[in-house]
Every structure is written in C-alpha cells, then in structure tokens.
Amino acid sequence: MKITNYTYIVLIILFLFRTEVSLGKDSDSVSVVATRAVITGKTSNIPNGGVVQITLIDYGIDDARINKKIFTTIKDNQYQFIIDSLTHPLYLVFNFREASDLNYVHFILSPNDEINIDQSSDASKFSGTNSSIYDCIIEMTREGKEKFNNYGWSDRNNKPLIEEFKFTDEQLKYNLEKLKSYEEKMPQSIYSLLKTDLIYGAANYKYSLLNLKKTTAQQIGYDPGLLLMKGRPSVIGGNLYSYVFPYYVTSKYTYDYCTAINEKFDPTKCIDYVYENFHGILKEQLGTYLIIKNIKMSNMTAPQNYALSAFSNQIFKDIIVKATANRVEGREAIDFSLPDKDGRNHSLSEYRGNIVVLDFWFTGCGACKELAPKLAYVAEKLKREKVVFLSISVDKSKATWLKSVKAGEYTFKGCIELYTDGMAQSHPELSKYKILGFPTLILINQAGKIMNNPISPRDDGGADMLKLIYAELNKRGVRQ
C-alpha cells in the first residue's frame, strides 16, 4: 500500500487516541445496565439527502469484519444517531463523504451521552452530556495537524528519523498537558483511558517506524529507554478496552524479536509470546486481535482452536467465530457461483472431488501480481493432479478486469478466471469468507472442507502449498 504524507498524519493522530490496558488481574464482575447514547448534528455544508456513517469499535478489536457501521441521512440540515443497549464506552469514528474536521478522528462514546454537534463552520463545536471529552479530542487533533504542517511534513522523508522521534515526543508532552487541563471535566476512567492512549500510541508509532525502516533506536541515535515513556500510568480495568494497545504489543514484539535480530514475523510465535507474558482479559483481547488479523497466515488453526476452548471470556470467543468461522480448517466451504469472461457461471460445488485453490486479487495490487508466476509454477507441478485454480477478481470495473485478464499479469494459463460482478468483497456468498487483504489464498479439499493456510508462495516459491496439497492427495490415495 502506498502511504501518502496525509496517511502518516492520520496514523499519528489515530495512534494518539486509543488504548485501555488491563495488565493484571481481571476486574471484579459488576452488574451493568444498558442505556442509550444520542448524537445529533447540524450542518450547512452537507446537502440534504447526504449520507453520514459512524463506525463503532468495541472490545479493543478494530477490524472491518466485526466493527459495527451505522448510516443515516441528512434531513433539514440535521442528522441523528441513536445507539441503544450501550453498556460501556467504545470508540466512535465519523465518516462524512464530504470534507469534515470530524473524519477519521476516534472519539469515545459512553452510555448516556447526549452530544450535539454544530458543523455550521469549518471548526465543529460540541455541547451536551460528556461533550468535554469530544472537545478535548478534537482540540488535540486540530492542533496536532497544525504542528505537523509546521514541522514540514511534506519533506519528512528527507529528515533524519530521530527528528521525527523527537517531534513525536514533543507532541506527546503537549497532548498530555492538554488532556490534563480537561481532567476535571470528564470521568476519571475516560481520562485514564485517553492518557494511556496517548502514551502507548506514541510508542507504537515509533516502533512501527523502526520496523518499517528496518533499523534500531541505537542506529538512529535515539535512547531505547525513551521508546515508551517512563512514568506511564497504571493500567485500568473494568469494561474499557483499548484498540491501540494490541497494535503496540505487536509492533514492539516485531521490533524486539524480528527487526532487531533480522528475523521474519511469525504470528504464531507472537501469539505464544502474548500467552506467556499477559494474563486474564488482556491476554484474551490480544490473542483475539492477533488471530483475526493474521487469519490468512499459515498454521493459525491451533491458535484458533486453543482460544475457542481455553478463553474464559465468551465475548472474545464470539468475536473470533464471527471474524474467522468460515476460514477455520475443517469447516465446510461456502458455495458460490461466479461468471467467467464468457458469461458462464462456475460454482464451487461443481469442482467437488478436486482440491480447489481460491486466489483473490485486484488490478493494481503489487503483491497479487508478484504471486501470479509463483502460482503458475505450483499449477505446473500439479498439472496431472485433480487440482483446480479459481482466480477471483474483486475489481469494481469489469472492463478493468478483462484488460488485466488479457494482459495475463495477475492470472496464468490453466486457471479459471472469475469475476465478482463489481460487488468485490460484498458479494453475498464471498462476503462470508471475511476477506479484507489481498492477495488471499484459500485451499479447499476434495470433500469441500477448508484446508490449512499455506505459506504464501511469494515467500517460499510454493513449497509449502505443494506440501499441503500433496499430503491431502496422498491421504485420499488419489495422487498421480
């Protein structure tokens, strides 16, 4: 993915507004009463009939497969969201199709919130119950963007990395001071959550940059002891869950056990690290995050099965099932029917009795293009076997798909080229496979069951995929 200067700005801002951590004992169970929250907005720069979307991120797991999206339309220059059955704070993200200072900012929505938003000017204003939380977050966001621009963001690639680290530390100090000025205007639990968000968010950003640049703090002249701020607050419990902390744990693990010693990231080892070093509800939150974020990686069956049997929190079990159920080894593959370039429909079930390789891709995906010749090699090795390759494009434009098929950059001779009719991942059947990243490979055995995920042929030339397929053919005694 190409990361623009604006994306870097948004990444820092997002990392500055997340994270509850529960490093220790589980909190005592308490009875909770579900209440509603109401958000009402007034706008003059969005036309009537325009659509407004909010995304709710719960339990510290930020993933499009489980996030809840709610839509409403502008009427008489106003919009309203009513969120029922709210038992604890969660993250709220606005998405206006038009430009807005609220877009992509992560607010915290609490039970009983009654938030009024005046968007009649470029700077949105808040009033109502708990509006001080929104004021604090938007002020830090606005001033952060201004500081980024003054920093010379467009020229950041020409600056030493240590300068960016120092700037991040200065921004963290400023934000903590701003947050402190609001301490008496918000619940203490939310204040503690935001404070922890800021500190772990800044640390995550620095670790992520080091991993991206494949360097270490020492090599850029930065004190490793400052990667995570000293004197950070004690973590909080209760029903508050952060979703930046999983990012932080993952990036720190990657730095310590991969970047610093020149090793590749292995999600199963990262999960083992989490299970050994964290306990209680935090262990289960982190484990859930890592399982669903790495579902298309190899050897994820054992971590999934362990979580579903050993986790005590049913919420996290349900999240894993919702996000990954149709990608678990041994589950029945969901049937679908898609057209080829000649208009003939192909259903998955018609290839029962063969091993089927599903390859999901889109035009412009560099990794997809890189995968194609590796898959062609695997297919050539298996040309005498009962193995079928279904190449499935999620391009929005049929013309784009047909052009790519003709060019042969994403597919190969012998594969069956199918199209999702412009519906991409929203295709009624394919959406159940919960595919977000590309390329994605799914193996299905002769009985129509999901197989273990292979190591991507981009990484090992197809050796692991061939091993898995040959083992399945040998098991059933049908290898040629």
pLDDT tens, position by position, 394-434? 999 999 999 999 999 999 999 999 999 888 878 887 788 88
245 membership: H or E segment, kind and range: helix 245-254
Radius of gyration of the chain measured on its C-alpha atoms: 24
88-102, 148-162, 181-195, 204-218, range with the lowest pLDDT? 148-162
Reading the block at residue 25, the tokens are: 């004992």
CA distance 46 to 416: 45
- Note the pTM of the prediction, 2 decimals: 0.79
- Rounded Cα distance between 448 and 349, Å, is 8
pLDDT digits (tens, 9 = 90+) for 281-291: 889 999 999 99
Q: What is the mean pLDDT of residues 421-450?
A: 87
Nearest to 291 by CA among 318, 264, 254: 318
SS (HEC) of 157-217: HHCCHHHHHHHHHHHHHHHHHHHHCCHHHCCHHHHHHHHHHHHHHHHHHHHHHHHHHCCCH
> How far is Cα 328 from Cα 452, in angstroms, rounded to an integer?
8
Instruction: Write a three-state SS string for 412-459.
Output: CCCCEEEECCCCHHHCCCHHHHCCCCCCEEEEECCCCEECCCCCCHHH
pLDDT digits over 211-237, tens only? Answer: 999 999 999 999 999 998 876 655 554
Task: Specify whether the CB–CB gap between 369 and 408 falls below 8 A.
Answer: no
